[in-house]
Structure 1
Amino acid sequence: MMQAIATTKITVLRGTATDAYGDEQDTNTPIATGIPASLTEQTRRVSGRENQTPRIVRYAVARVPARTDISENDRVLDERTGATYIVDAVSGMANPTIEVDRRVDLRRTT
């Protein structure tokens, strides 16, 4: 059961293959489909030491049920919009009484 209010359903994609040139390519092997998720895209203004010009960075965060099989470098397909994201990080808070949602930091690829 999820604590966050689901805004979409997602499919978790995993796996790689080698092409004819020996390069690694992602495969779109679904590990799980129809997973309820609270997915939000946000923006942040950032500037670095090398370049003081502020720029806008877009990122996304999803909340999924606690036992969802998802890990870094997986890909997430938003079943509602068709957008694909790469999983940058997966985390969750420790709670001794209930299972809490997992936070998934995402970077949009399409």
Structure 2
Amino acid sequence: MLAVGTTTITVYRGTTTDAWGDEADTDTPVHTGIVASITEQSRRVTTRDDPTPRIVRYAVSRVTAGTDITDQDRIRDERTGAVYIVEAVSSMNSPVVAADLRLDLRRTT
């Protein structure tokens, strides 16, 4: 991993159907103890329609290239207990080294 690991994460994947027929996330871990870097940031955002500035918070994580994480997985920061939904997985191309995976996250708890 090229980024400096700040925590370890657990990856949750999959859904089930509850007693009322609604889809619910499962809390079955797929992977545990994955070294990751998670940073939460904020950005001031305005639009042409609404020039009032708003503060938008978002989180980004980096994990080792080849880690089995996909869109819509959930990850739990084992240090803080925060849970995030993975909204996008991307990586930079490098002819020299396998670049880390970048995870765009949305915090759920």
Q: Assess same fold via TM > 0.5.
A: yes
1:23 Cα deviation after fit: 1.1
* Bigger share in strand: 1
Q: How well do the aligned residues superpose, as a CA RMSD in angstroms?
A: 1.0
Q: Residues 1-110 of structure 1: matches in 2 within 5 Å?
A: 2-110=1-109
TM-score, structure 1 as length reference = 0.94
Letter in 1 for 2:28: T
Post-superposition shift, 1:95?
A: 1.9
Distance in 1 of aligned mates of 2:23 and 2:47: 32
Cα deviation digits, residues 6-60 of structure 1 (max 9, x gap): 0000011101011122111111111110000011000011123332211111110
Residue identity opposite 2:17 in structure 1: T
Amino acid at match of 1:8: T
User: More displaced, 42-51 or 19-28?
Assistant: 42-51
Unaligned runs of 5+ in 2: none
State the TM-score, normalized to the length of structure 2: 0.95
Return 5+ residue gaps in structure 1 as ranges.
Answer: none
The sequence identity of aligned pairs, in percent, is: 65
CA distance in 2, matches of 1:29, 1:93: 30
Aligned residues: 109
Return the offset for 1:96.
2.7
**Post-superposition offset of 1:97:** 2.9
1:23–1:49 CA distance, 2 compared to 1 (3 A): farther
